[in-house]
Structure 1
């Protein structure tokens, strides 16, 4: 998980954060919750995936991803992505297991510094339209080891490794995300390496996220810029 960028300067309606990220990414803020103002909650495999869902939602202006929470002294997985709107009342709260951030179209790389524009400026929405045509939403290139995205299968095929599964998903116009699993068939003394290609009707939000040994999941790279 990334360390939160250091805030270096503040102006009215504009915030600047020093960062070494690439133009395709937007800073994430670990151990930070932005409670309230939820417009939708979805399952997500990682903070980056949650950011992708927020970027794809027309009303999402920020989000909080709850990877785990503590209940009666025991840490439990959650994988919940809370999409939010109402930046006028955005209040940060320190909280373990929660990562928050903004959709990628709110970020622009200017002289190696992230510039989050004034949302209330009269030219903001024109600016946003121009940015989204050149700066794609966060590309979830990171593979998720030990994560299973069950259900929503289009089909499965046998491949040698997770990278080949990712490539197959990217090349299939119907595939949004995938899960690659290695099942040990002890009676036959060999393993079955399956690549499950998956899709949901709207955003690439899996209906379920679970932990699973010998599984690798991820998303199509079809819309990525390199």
Structure 2
């Protein structure tokens, strides 16, 4: 590599921040690892950056093409508080610099010449430090770990700061600030209680595919206009953007004066030099989002494609292979193994089920997740299954009849999607008022109250019921907005024991949505006693927070 190539970060195929992206093109004659306390290297200044500790300062110096020495002023520096956390990068034609006694300063050498593997990966976090930069994205997060993961998976994020739930400003608590700068290092670092800062883990090769499938209501993403077309719904608009190579983001106009006679509305396809909107205008009823081109193909398109298995038989009947590819069977293995509940695939590593299935069985090691199966009799000791890494029940769950009957299972490894195992689409908040007319309940549960688990996956179509009508059937129970009811006046077709946690799947505009999770009911298929399901759309934010 030539010196010109080395100094041009655009020619280096790397994911390091600009401040430490350079290859080792400058050598020194010997390896010196000694750190000098209370010492300042005088002269030779190349540049100054802010780093959270002396170790990171040495890494920056090591990766800089010309830095041979550094001096660091730590958090305890008292001479000039504005210079705390300063990292001075230095050079010398003679490969030496005079050392001056200076209380509190720490100095050392670049490790370019050392036979030591120096990594730009910085997994440490820094509690009580605010690393300043351009705050280009602010979201809510339950933990700093979630915040760091978002930074790692965001194309532009170089470092982050997370305000904890005890932060002095209540309006900023649990906020995740994603940041970047020209150099890739903070523009300043200050001591601040109840915050945690850290760097993106991209250099640690821990980033995932940069897929942003979320849509944003009442936001208009501005950028270079590529095309304006018409689409039936914001998800269809997103798919049009995904299918257009240059489109990076879109804005959908579901406004009366923007729609045609076919009830299709304007879909603005846009791009920018950075890949992000040049400006975001809030309000106006518009819906915006990003291309799904960077998402796994099967995961991103399953919600836009209707099932080829279009034959449906009303009543409790056998399903066909691949008819409900998001359905999983959840087995518990204690003294013996058995099917206990069902669940739904919502991504390549997450299963959505009912909290009442897992609250007394929260040890992940006892669970086995079987995907892509039709018959329980097909499950043998050698049948492949997914182990469970983590179980997250909703913290407000007490028992099924009081709501919050929802839980997540994280698989120990990502699932490879096939025609037999695919995710179902989750309804977004803007879909809350959608009228679903083609809904199905599936499971291996009992066909009658005193029955047994069925061998073949059963399916039954059920009509949805209004909250008021359902409340009239269960006068001694509270049916709130977080529940949805389905069933027949005469009974006879319903979910039953063993179906718990499974999907209430509804097809709308050729897309299958997970509208409900089988939760509870009085008996099974009794007249005037509908099944009660957890209304998934009411937990959209919670699901997103836990699975990000």
Task: Measure the CA separation in 1 of the matches of 2:134 and 2:39.
Answer: 31
Secondary structure of the structure 1 residue equivalent to 2:139: strand
* Secondary structure at the counterpart of residue 148 of structure 1: strand
CA distance in 2, matches of 1:151, 1:193: 19
* Aligned-residue offset at 1:94: 4.0
Deviation, 1:195, is 1.1
Question: Against the structure 1 CA distance between its residues 101 and 142, is the aligned structure 2 distance closer, same or farther, given a 3 Å change threshold?
Answer: farther
Task: Give the conservation status (yes or no) of the 8 Å contact 1:104–1:138.
Answer: no
**Partner of residue 69 from structure 1, selected from 63, 74, 77:** 77
**Which one has the bigger strand percentage?**
1
* Counterpart for residue 205 of structure 1: 185
SS at match of 1:197: strand
What's 1:196 paired with? 177
Residues 1:14 and 2:21 are matched in the alignment: no
Cα distance change of structure 1 residues 192 and 52 upon mapping to structure 2, 3 Å threshold: same
Equivalent residue runs for 1:1-226 within 5 Å: 13-15=29-31, 28-67=35-74, 68-71=76-79, 78-86=84-92, 88-109=95-116, 135=117, 137-182=119-164, 184=166, 192-201=173-182, 203-224=183-204
Deviations 1:39-98 (A, max 9, x none): 112222221232233234222122111124344xx9776221111001622233443322
TM-score between both structures, scaled by the size of structure 2: 0.29
Q: Give SS of 1:53's match.
A: helix
> How many pairs are equivalent?
176
Could you say if the C-alpha distance between residues 90 and 187 of structure 1 is closer, same or farther in structure 2, counting changes exceeding 3 Å? closer
Q: Is the 8 Å Cα contact of residues 55 and 137 (structure 1) preserved in structure 2?
A: no
Q: Which runs of 5+ in 2 are unaligned?
A: 1-28, 207-548
Structure 2 vs 1, CA of residues 160 and 107 (structure 1 numbering), >3 Å: closer, same or farther? farther
Matched with 1:131 is none
Note closer, same or farther for the CA distance 1:29–1:150 as it changes in structure 2 (3 Å cut): same
Of 37-46 and 179-188, deviating more is 179-188
Alignment CA distance shift 1:140-1:29 (3 Å)? farther
Q: Post-superposition shift, 1:192? A: 2.3
Could you report, residue by residue, the CA deviation over 1:78-136 in whole angstroms, capped at 9, with x for unpaired residues?
22111100162223344332222233433224xxxxxxxxxxxxxxxxxxxxxxxxx45
Residues 41, 99 of structure 2: 8 Å contact kept: yes
Write the distance in 1 (CA, Å) between the matches of 2:99 and 2:198: 29
Once the 2 structures are TM-superposed, how far is the Cα of residue 137 of structure 1 from its aligned partner? Answer: 4.1
- Match of 1:63, SS state, is strand
Taking CA–CA contacts closer than 8 Å with sequence separation of 6 or more, which of the two structures ends up with the larger relative contact order? Answer: 1
In the alignment, the residues of structure 1 paired with residue 194 and residue 167 of structure 2 have an alpha-carbon distance, to the nearest angstrom, of 13
**Conservation of the 8 A alpha-carbon contact between 1:105 and 1:137:** no
Tell me the residue number matched to 1:114. none
Stretch of structure 1 that moved more, 168-177 or 178-187: 178-187
Inter-partner Cα distance in structure 2 for 1:39 and 1:101:
15
